[in-house]
């Protein structure tokens, strides 16, 4: 079996598990850097790339990425603080999100952020109010909800009923958004149709569709954009073996589309901006977990791990959890015996705590160390950290073979005084 990334360094992983305990995420900064280099090389030039902190806000990961990309995409006070603490100049922040409140906007403007993605007239007017209050000017991108495109196997953000953006059919709202309000001024558009688009041809098609739709919107409103944020959708394997795909045809394909629609783009009129979270971080992460128990029920083997949905993949919706379908690899000298089909359960007292309904493990036994590859994106902060009050997983940062440090996310409870 191929052992990608850190799974190819069993001594290092065994040592980290011994010294820091499990469950432990290990983030390799060298792998973060090479993902950024690969993605940048696959994008049309000139263009910018910002890191979406949602995928992994760990300070060292953010710090490493900000050295390699052109800024940060944030959508909360915590993400903004993490980007600024990592040294991101506030003018390189893009502040996004469908529900920004006045306090958040005032705080961002006060910190020096000047670029926002606005999702509706209400959102835009709230930004204008925040500008008024703080005595600052802001530029904004109009987030458009485009008609359904072609991406297959992807999590769609637009093109169907969604809370994101303003739909093109609402022509009055789109036209109004492309006119300034107070100290808030439109400078371009923001489109982001799908995430984790696994087929490079489908991803290119998504970008073509977006560029064509934006051209039409700009023509209709007689609007000259200075910045087109085209989103992302760059895919990465999650919690299973696999390598990052490259996009060898994207740069040339998209460049010719842009030549036809926005011919000034090669001189930065408009500037083209991409966003990525998972592609930049997924492959850099490995989750170490130990087997706590092995038992059988109804003819099925259950392997109980110390990592459950409080640590990995625990994003929940409507009382239902999607199991991350994890496929761990064994670490160190535990690889003898029969391969068995097993269910991977976590330690939480709920039948929803399943990391994989069915996968194969060699000779599972208590104490065995497993490594779940490609877990650098949407790990701890996308999990049910507070559920059942276990300590958060350790997050160990390595750079090649050297351990740089270890931290733990803590869920805290604090007293709140009533507002006056």
Ligand X SMILES: *Cc1c(COP(=O)(O)O)cnc(C)c1O
Q: Which residues bind ligand X (CB under 6 A)?
A: 52, 54-55, 73, 96, 192, 195-196, 231-232, 234, 275-279, 377
CB of 377 to ligand X, least distance (A): 6
Neighbours of 261 (CB within 10 A): 17
CB of 420 to ligand X, least distance (A): 35
Cβ closer to ligand X: 208 or 278? 278
- Name the helix (H) or strand (E) containing 213: helix 200-221
CB of 277 to ligand X, least distance (A): 3
CB of 39 to ligand X, least distance (A): 10
- In the numeric block, which tokens belong to residue 98? 């469908």
Cβ closer to ligand X: 154 or 168? 154
CB of 54 to ligand X, least distance (A): 5
The rounded distance, in Å, linking the Cα atoms of 80 and 419 is 24
Cβ closer to ligand X: 188 or 232? 232
Exposure class string for 387-407: b at 16+ Cβ within 10 A, else e? beebebbbbbbbbeeeeeebe
Cβ closer to ligand X: 54 or 126? 54
* Burial label, 222 (beta-carbon count in 10 A; 0-12, 13-18, 19+): exposed
Cβ closer to ligand X: 278 or 290? 278
- In the numeric block, which tokens belong to residue 393? 């997983």
Cβ closer to ligand X: 49 or 397? 49
The rounded distance, in Å, linking the Cα atoms of 230 and 210 is 7
The rounded distance, in Å, linking the Cα atoms of 146 and 158 is 6
* Chain residue at closest Cβ approach to ligand X: 277
Cβ closer to ligand X: 151 or 258? 151
- In the numeric block, which tokens belong to residue 14? 């065994």
* Burial label, 240 (beta-carbon count in 10 A; 0-12, 13-18, 19+): middle
CB of 246 to ligand X, least distance (A): 16
Strand partners, 361: 340
CB of 26 to ligand X, least distance (A): 20
Cα dihedral: 354, 357, 359, 365 (round 10) = 50
CB of 96 to ligand X, least distance (A): 5
Contact of 215 with 180, CB cutoff 8 Å: no
CB of 411 to ligand X, least distance (A): 22
Cβ closer to ligand X: 65 or 344? 65
CB of 110 to ligand X, least distance (A): 23
DSSP string for 127-156: HHHHHHHHT--EEEEEEEEPPP----SSEE
DSSP string for 30-90: HHHHHHHHHHHHHS-SS-EEEEEGGG---HHHHHHHHHHSS-EEE-SHHHHHHHHHTT--G
The rounded distance, in Å, linking the Cα atoms of 348 and 355 is 11
Cβ closer to ligand X: 9 or 50? 50
Cβ closer to ligand X: 282 or 342? 282
Token look-up 């104490």 returns 367
Neighbours of 136 (CB within 10 A): 17
* Burial label, 179 (beta-carbon count in 10 A; 0-12, 13-18, 19+): exposed
CB of 228 to ligand X, least distance (A): 14
Cβ closer to ligand X: 117 or 289? 117
């Amino acid at each position: 079996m191929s052992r990608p990334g850190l799974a190819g360094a069993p001594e290092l992983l065994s040592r980290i598990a011994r010294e820091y305990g499990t469950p432990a995420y290990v983030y390799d900064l060298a792998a973060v850097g090479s993902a950024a280099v690969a993605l940048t090389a696959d994008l049309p030039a000139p263009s910018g790339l910002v890191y979406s902190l949602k995928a992994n806000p760990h300070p060292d990961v953010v710090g490493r990425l900000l050295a390699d990309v052109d800024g940060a995409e944030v959508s909360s006070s915590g993400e903004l603080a993490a980007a600024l603490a990592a040294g991101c100049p506030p003018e390189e922040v893009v502040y996004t999100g469908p529900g920004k409140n006045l306090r958040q906007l005032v705080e961002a403007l006060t910190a020096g952020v000047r670029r926002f993605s606005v999702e509706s007239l209400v959102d835009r007017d709230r930004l204008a109010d925040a500008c008024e209050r703080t005595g600052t000017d802001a530029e904004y991108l109009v987030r458009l909800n485009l008609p359904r495109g072609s991406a297959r196997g992807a999590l769609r953000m637009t093109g169907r009923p969604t809370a994101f953006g303003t739909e093109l059919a609402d022509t009055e709202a789109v036209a109004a958004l492309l006119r300034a309000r107070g100290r808030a001024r439109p400078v371009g558009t923001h489109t982001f149709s799908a995430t984790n688009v696994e087929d490079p041809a489908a991803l290119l098609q998504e970008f073509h569709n977006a560029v064509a739709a934006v051209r039409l919107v700009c023509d209709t409103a007689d609007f000259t954009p200075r910045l087109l944020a085209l989103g992302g959708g760059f895919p990465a394997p999650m919690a299973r073996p696999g390598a990052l795909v490259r996009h060898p045809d994207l740069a040339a394909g998209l460049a010719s589309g842009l030549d036809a629609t926005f011919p000034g783009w090669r001189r930065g009129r408009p500037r083209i901006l991409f966003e990525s979270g998972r592609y930049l971080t997924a492959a850099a992460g490995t989750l170490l977990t130990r087997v706590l128990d092995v038992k059988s029920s109804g003819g099925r083997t259950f392997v109980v791990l110390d990592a459950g949905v409080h640590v990995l993949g625990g994003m929940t919706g409507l009382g239902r959890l999607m199991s991350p379908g994890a496929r761990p690899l064994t670490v160190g000298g535990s690889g003898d015996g029969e391969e068995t089909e097993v269910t991977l359960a976590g330690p939480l007292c709920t039948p929803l705590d399943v990391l994989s309904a069915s996968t194969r493990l060699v000779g599972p036994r208590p104490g065995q160390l497993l490594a779940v590859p490609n877990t650098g994106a949407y790990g701890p902060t996308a999990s049910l950290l507070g559920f059942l009050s276990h300590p958060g997983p350790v997050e160990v940062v390595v750079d090649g073979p050297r351990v740089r440090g270890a931290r733990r996310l803590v869920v805290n409870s604090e007293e709140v005084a009533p507002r006056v």
